[in-house]
Chain A
Amino acid sequence: MSAADAAPLDDQRTVVDRATREAGNPELSVAFDMVRRSLPFLPLLILGSAAIWGINGAWSTAYGIAVVLANFVLAAAILAWSARISVVFLAIGAFGGFFIRLSLIFLAVMLVKDAGWVELVPLGLTLIVTHLGLLFWELRYVSATLAYPGLKPATTPLTAD
């Protein structure tokens, strides 16, 4: 392929990469927002688990919550980091991050499964309930922002035409 043939594709890549870079870190904003919004409710989950499975259940639930929150933040960090490089790296980061994070969750559970303070049923339930619960909770805010972008404060001052 000659340089002239490659030029339009390179231009397009540059535009897309720049736009991706200039979009900031929306994943990190969403992930930290999730963590912030979840903090008041998570003690209730731990208390509920303690009421059903006892103190070991409470520890297992707390551990599961920590794993889920770390998973969200790690996913967002990988995506934000890879998006700063290029859009191709964003795709690699998304797919590679899936395998890395799944392996880390596997390791995190396998390392503690025989510990005395771990109950596997509350730990497993916490992983699913917290992951889905936080996502649905955050989806309300994200979908509202996307549906009514006019409600967001303008980043640049509006000028009269």
Chain B
Amino acid sequence: MSLLATAAIEVAQAVELAADAAESDADPQSVAGASSAGFAYGLAAIGPGIGIGYLVGQAVQAMARQPESAGMVRTTMFLGIAFTEALALIGFVVFILLKFV
């Protein structure tokens, strides 16, 4: 319990320090840009994560129902994973363009 309390105090101090830094010398626009870039990357990675989980689950189910079609299922699963991953890649590119360009 005391460990949790210590961690909570440390997090609160870190947030306070970050807020002070943001108020004092950092440009609000750059702070907002960095925050939104981070959010863009994080949100863009959630969707593909869910998508790949669903896709692989369905592929495993298909292979369990029809083991003889495992090769075909794995081929389409690989392409499906690559297509889903493109969303995360787009999110990453948006992140680097917002943050560093």
Pair count A-B, CB < 8 A: 112
A interface residue numbers (CB < 8 A to B):
12, 15-16, 18-20, 22-24, 26-27, 30-31, 72, 75-76, 79, 83, 87, 90-91, 94-95, 98, 101-102, 105-106, 109, 113, 120-121, 124-125, 127-128, 131-132, 135, 138-139, 142, 146
- Indicate if the CB atoms of A27 and B74 lie closer than 8 Å: yes
* Contact indicator per residue, chain B 73-97, by CB within 8 Å of chain A (1) or not (0): 0111111011101101110110011
CB-defined contacts of B101 to chain A, threshold 8 Å: 120-121
CB proximity of A85 to chain B, nearest CB, Å: 14
Bound form: Cα–Cα A157–B85 in Å:
39
Is chain B's interface secondary structure helix, strand, loop, or mixed overall? Answer: helix
- Indicate if the CB atoms of B86 and A15 lie closer than 8 Å: no
Using C-beta atoms within 8 Å of the partner chain, give the interface range for chain B: 35 or more
Residues facing A in B48-101 (CB within 8 A) are: 48-49, 52-53, 56-57, 60, 63-64, 67-68, 70-72, 74-79, 81-83, 85-86, 88-90, 92-93, 96-97, 100-101
